[in-house]
């Protein structure tokens, strides 16, 4: 069926409907990954957004649920140049078209995604509408007014779990650690890869909903705390920011990723701002300012931390994006806190930045050794 993508600036792209046929108003963002569309669709950070894939052919290896980053798709809609009708991988359990339909995700194919991406890069992220209706005249003007008024809200609440979940670490990995570590994961829209990266290293993981209090988390006496990725404007999450501030003052090792990185900055007195078109893809170069090494990273965010808003006596920049110079991470002084803007769990090909989970493990071991030495001194 014929379908249209209408942007808030009045631009109209004509293509064909894919997935569930329904009208959708959403924020239109693009992702430059050549593969990984399953992970993109099921990443909770895309809550409230319609995703444009810049690679021209999407869906050729089908959908394997083992690669999903959550139990369901979170993106509002999917926009592609061509969608494969067949699934070539032996692991595939479904075609992409059937997966979209089954999960009530709408979309559009057959449009010039290169032109659309250039428009978003030149003019910034825009809201848009995917529809099978032909809007003209006053009806089109009214639709544009609705699109301009659209704002992603309540996204973290929608993306987060609603109750505590517990995961047991891999026993083989635990044998390498004389004392089994427990990690509290504050969920703002966490990806399955984060939990897997922790349990693979032998850590028992307890996932807490976004509305959990610091007191509730600390009462379980975790050895370390993770703050996950998630969707939306970080400044909207005032309750989480307040609780994260308490967690930061607890002295426990903390590792925060993406939205968690932004929330920690806000909790420590910093500020964030919206990027023109965001960073979404699997090939973003990031420099480790501590060592000078450069890593190829997976990213998905539309906001960044204003590096100058964090006082030098509070934190030092640890990572920097080599494409645009934006901040990609902090080390907080005297707080045992490391935050990164990118996704070290994603492994989009290279597994370069997976070592950050090992750094987090070492932070917990150092704190344990310090506690043991203190007890011996007493």
Active-site residue numbers? 258, 343, 345
Q: Measure the CA angle with vertex 54, ends 49 and 60; round to 5°.
A: 100
Helix H or strand E encompassing 109 = strand 106-109
Please provide residue 77's backbone torsions phi and psi, each rounded to the nearest 5 degrees. -160, 165
- Among residues 29, 7, 5, the alpha carbon closest in space to that of 303 is found at 29
CA distance 378 to 375: 5
Residues 6+ apart with CB under 8 A from 372: none
Beta bridge partners of 26: 128
- Please give the distance of CA 338 from its chain centroid, rounded to a whole number: 17
How many alpha carbons fall within 13 Å on the CB side of residue 116? 33
The helix/strand/coil state of 236 is helix
Beta bridge partners of 182: 204
CB 286 within 8 A of CB 293: no
- Please give the distance of CA 304 from its chain centroid, rounded to a whole number: 13
- Among residues 215, 315, 231, the alpha carbon closest in space to that of 265 is found at 315
């Amino acid at each position: 069926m014929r379908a249209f993508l209408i942007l808030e600036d009045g631009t109209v792209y004509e293509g064909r409907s894919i997935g569930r046929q329904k009208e959708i108003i959403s924020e239109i963002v693009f992702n430059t990954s050549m593969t990984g569309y399953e992970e993109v669709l099921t990443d909770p950070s895309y809550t409230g957004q319609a995703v444009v894939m810049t690679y021209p052919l999407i869906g050729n290896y089908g959908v394997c649920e083992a690669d999903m980053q959550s139990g369901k798709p979170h993106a509002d809609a999917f926009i592609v140049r061509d969608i494969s009708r067949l699934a070539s991988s032996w692991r595939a359990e479904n075609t992409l078209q059937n997966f979209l339909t089954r999960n009530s995700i709408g979309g559009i194919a057959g449009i010039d995604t290169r032109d659309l991406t250039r428009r978003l890069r030149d003019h910034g992220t825009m809201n848009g509408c995917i529809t099978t209706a032909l809007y003209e005249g006053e009806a089109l003007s009214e639709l544009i007014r609705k699109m301009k008024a659209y704002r992603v809200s309540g996204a973290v609440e929608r993306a987060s779990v609603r109750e505590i979940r517990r995961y047991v670490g891999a026993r083989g990995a635990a044998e390498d650690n004389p004392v089994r570590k427990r990690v509290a994961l504050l969920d703002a829209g966490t990806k399955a890869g984060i939990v897997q990266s922790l349990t693979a290293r032998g850590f028992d993981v307890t996932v807490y909903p976004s509305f959990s209090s610091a007191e509730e988390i600390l009462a379980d006496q975790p050895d370390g705390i993770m703050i996950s990725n998630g969707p939306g404007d970080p400044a909207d999450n005032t309750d989480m920011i307040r609780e994260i501030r308490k967690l930061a003052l607890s002295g426990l090792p903390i590792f925060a990723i993406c939205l968690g990185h932004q929330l920690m900055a806000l909790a420590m007195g910093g500020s964030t701002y919206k990027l023109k078109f965001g960073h979404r893809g699997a090939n973003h170069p990031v420099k480790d300012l501590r060592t000078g090494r450069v890593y190829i990273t997976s990213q998905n965010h539309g906001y960044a931390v204003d590096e100058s808003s964090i006082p030098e006596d509070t934190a030092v920049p640890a990572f920097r994006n080599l494409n645009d110079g934006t901040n990609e991470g902090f080390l907080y002084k005297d707080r045992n806190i490391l935050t990164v803007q990118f996704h070290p769990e994603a492994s989009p090909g290279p597994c370069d930045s997976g070592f950050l989970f090992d750094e987090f493990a070492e932070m917990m071991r150092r704190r344990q050794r310090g506690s043991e030495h203190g007890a011996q001194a007493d």
